[in-house]
């Protein structure tokens, strides 16, 4: 099932700043209407492809600069991989990103305080379940010490050579090894450690202080996009920058647009899939970079558990001491609701999601029963599972780099002929995999576009 829409803005050709809008916008949160013919725009400065965090940030930057642009989104929701659903459970549920990392430096958190939404500190720490009990103090010390030693080993290796993270883990992690591998790999990066570059892991900024938006992280993004006219349900299929006198043509489902530059925020997996064709082809340098930044897998299995049968506090995070990769993380009583979210990720999560909802629910219920007893799951009501790998305009989670791939993030910061600029979580060296990183990359791309346009007035 798809999430409900945030604010949908449909325009023949959306233009911001003092220039008049070329179409009407709707403030109703409803499914986008059937596609209508798009008026050809011949004098737009910029086309922004994708209304996720990066696209919204770029649009706000271009608005402030007084540039004319079109913001087109393939899906019928805004937010990209950050979407809040309120229809499924009658309470906010973040289908993708949930934690607002490092609020002191996160631009989205700073703007969020101006929206009137409720941002509150996330609980610190975590708990670990060992069978039917919680880890004792000494056991937690052993586990946390192992996490620190593993992360330190990865950091040390990154100073010498870029190989995969699993190769450098300490050999003395003992029976905590599988749990530590899950926490650092699938849970933290969406991929198994064997697939992740030690250099990319080492470059990742600390994300140990978070806030949560009670109304949903996706709702916060929607607020920040509320004044932006956005063309919804209008996938871009082709960008041609050949023989156009310094400009380009952008072809979408509902028509063709001319622009002087484009900011492309589609995910690396979408760009690699060929759903957006480029004429001429993107340079090999950018294609190789995209291939080294393929998205991992990360999905939520949401269970409604009224009455708090697990006895957990709001927003409590629980891991399992596991002996294999068939494990998960539990995020309990999200924002004081009865929703308990079981996160599955990495290769196990990808394979499980591919088997469909029934297999995901069976795993989640069995996993919970093994940790809390069969009686604890008898109260489960409504349930839902995300399938980000199957979302046609996302195709995955986020972009932990493969060994040798960390420099690819900087490659994607380069423009193609001062006409095509990339943005998104993959285009950030330290905040990859985060909404804040995507936002910063969108602002950075908009600034680069403004510099490029200043060189060639038109």
pLDDT surpassing 90 at residue 445 = yes
Among the ranges given (58-62, 380-384, 404-408, 453-457), the one the predictor scored with the smallest mean pLDDT: 453-457
Give the whole-angstrom CA distance, residue 134 versus residue 118. Answer: 31
Give the whole-angstrom CA distance, residue 180 versus residue 321. Answer: 9
Give the whole-angstrom CA distance, residue 9 versus residue 1. Answer: 22
pLDDT by residue (tens digit) across 278-307? Answer: 999 999 999 999 999 999 999 999 999 999
- Say if strands 127-130 and 316-320 run parallel, antiparallel, or are unpaired: parallel
Signed CA dihedral, 56, 189, 404, 267: sign only: negative
pLDDT by residue (tens digit) across 183-213? Answer: 999 999 999 999 999 999 999 988 889 999 9
- 62-73: average pLDDT: 97
- CA angle 51/56/62 to nearest 5° reads 125
Structure tokens at 183: 């926490």
Please report how the helices 53-64 and 217-224 are oriented relative to each other, as an axis angle in degrees rounded to 10.
20
Give the whole-angstrom CA distance, residue 258 versus residue 255. Answer: 10
The total of other beta-carbon atoms located within 10 Å of residue 121's CB is: 11
pLDDT surpassing 50 at residue 14 = no
Higher pLDDT, 456 or 352: 352
pLDDT surpassing 50 at residue 321 = yes
Give the whole-angstrom CA distance, residue 403 versus residue 261. Answer: 32
Q: Say what percent of the chain tops pLDDT 70.
A: 90
Among the ranges given (202-216, 341-355, 441-455), the one the predictor scored with the smallest mean pLDDT: 202-216
Give the whole-angstrom CA distance, residue 24 versus residue 156. Answer: 56
Strand partners, 48: 71, 263
- 151-171: average pLDDT: 97
pLDDT of residue 58: 98
Please give the model's pTM, rounded to 2 decimal places. Answer: 0.90
pLDDT by residue (tens digit) across 90-137? Answer: 999 999 999 999 999 999 999 999 999 999 999 998 999 999 999 999
Higher pLDDT, 357 or 2: 357
Structure tokens at 21: 């809008």
pLDDT of residue 11: 29
> Where residue 458 falls among pLDDT bands split at 50, 70, 90?
low
Give the whole-angstrom CA distance, residue 182 versus residue 443. Answer: 33
pLDDT surpassing 50 at residue 29 = no
pLDDT of residue 245: 65
H runs (alpha helix) in 198-238:
198-203, 217-224
Q: Half-sphere exposure of residue 444, counting CA atoms within 13 Å on the CB side? A: 20
Domains and CATH numbers, the chain: 1-124+211-294+399-458 (3.50.50.60), 125-208+296-390 (3.90.660.10)
Structure tokens at 429: 């060296």
pLDDT surpassing 80 at residue 40 = no
Higher pLDDT, 379 or 423: 423
- 24-46: average pLDDT: 46
Contacts of 221 (CB under 8 A, 6+ apart): 6, 52, 53, 56, 78, 79, 82, 108, 435
pLDDT surpassing 90 at residue 144 = yes
Helix (H) or strand (E) holding 120: strand 119-121
């Amino acid at each position: 099932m798809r999430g409900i829409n945030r604010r949908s803005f449909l325009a023949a050709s959306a233009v911001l700043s003092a220039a008049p809008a070329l179409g009407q916008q709707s403030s109703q949160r409803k499914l986008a209407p059937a596609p209508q013919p798009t008026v050809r725009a011949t004098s737009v400065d910029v086309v922004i492809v994708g209304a996720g965090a990066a696209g919204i940030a770029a649009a706000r930057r271009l608005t402030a600069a007084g540039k004319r642009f079109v913001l087109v989104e393939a899906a019928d929701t805004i937010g990209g991989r950050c979407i809040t659903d309120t229809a499924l459970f009658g309470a906010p549920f973040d289908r993708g990103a949930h934690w607002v990392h490092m609020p002191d430096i996160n631009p989205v958190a700073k703007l969020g305080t101006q929206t009137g939404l409720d941002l509150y500190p996330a609980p610190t720490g975590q708990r670990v379940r060992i069978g039917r009990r919680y880890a004792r103090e000494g056991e937690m010390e052993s586990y946390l010490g192992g996490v620190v030693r593993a992360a330190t080993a990865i950091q040390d290796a990154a100073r010498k050579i870029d190989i995969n993270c699993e190769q450098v883990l300490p050999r003395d992690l003992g029976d905590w090894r599988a749990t530590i591998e899950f926490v650092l790999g699938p849970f933290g990066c969406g991929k198994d450690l064997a697939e992740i570059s030690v250099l990319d892991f080492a470059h990742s900024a600390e994300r140990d202080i978070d806030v949560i938006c009670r109304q949903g992280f996706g709702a916060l993004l929607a607020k920040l996009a509320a004044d932006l006219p956005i063309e919804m349900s209008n996938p871009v299929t082709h960008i041609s920058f050949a023989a156009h006198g310094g400009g380009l043509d952008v072809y979408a489902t509902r028509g063709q647009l001319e622009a002087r530059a484009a900011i492309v925020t589609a995910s690396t997996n979408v760009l690699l899939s060929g759903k957006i064709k480029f004429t001429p082809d993107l340079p090999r340098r950018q294609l190789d970079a995209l291939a080294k930044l393929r998205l991992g897998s990360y999905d939520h299995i949401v269970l409604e558990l009224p009455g708090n049968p697990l006895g957990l506090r709001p927003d409590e995070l629980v891991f399992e001491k596991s002996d294999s990769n068939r494990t998960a993380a539990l995020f309990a009583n999200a924002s004081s609701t009865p929703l308990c979210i079981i996160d599955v990720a990495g290769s196990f999560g990808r394979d499980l999601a591919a088997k469909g909802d029934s297999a995901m629910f069976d795993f989640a219920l069995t996993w919970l029963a093994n940790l809390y007893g069969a009686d604890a799951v008898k109260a489960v009501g409504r349930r839902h599972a995300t399938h980000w790998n199957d979302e046609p305009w996302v195709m995955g989670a986020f972009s932990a780099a493969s060994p040798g791939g960390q420099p690819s993030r900087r490659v994607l910061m380069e423009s193609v002929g001062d006409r095509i600029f990339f943005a998104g979580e993959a285009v950030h060296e330290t905040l990859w995999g985060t909404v804040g990183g995507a936002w910063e990359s969108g602002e950075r791309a908009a600034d680069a576009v403004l510099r490029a346009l200043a060189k060639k007035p038109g």
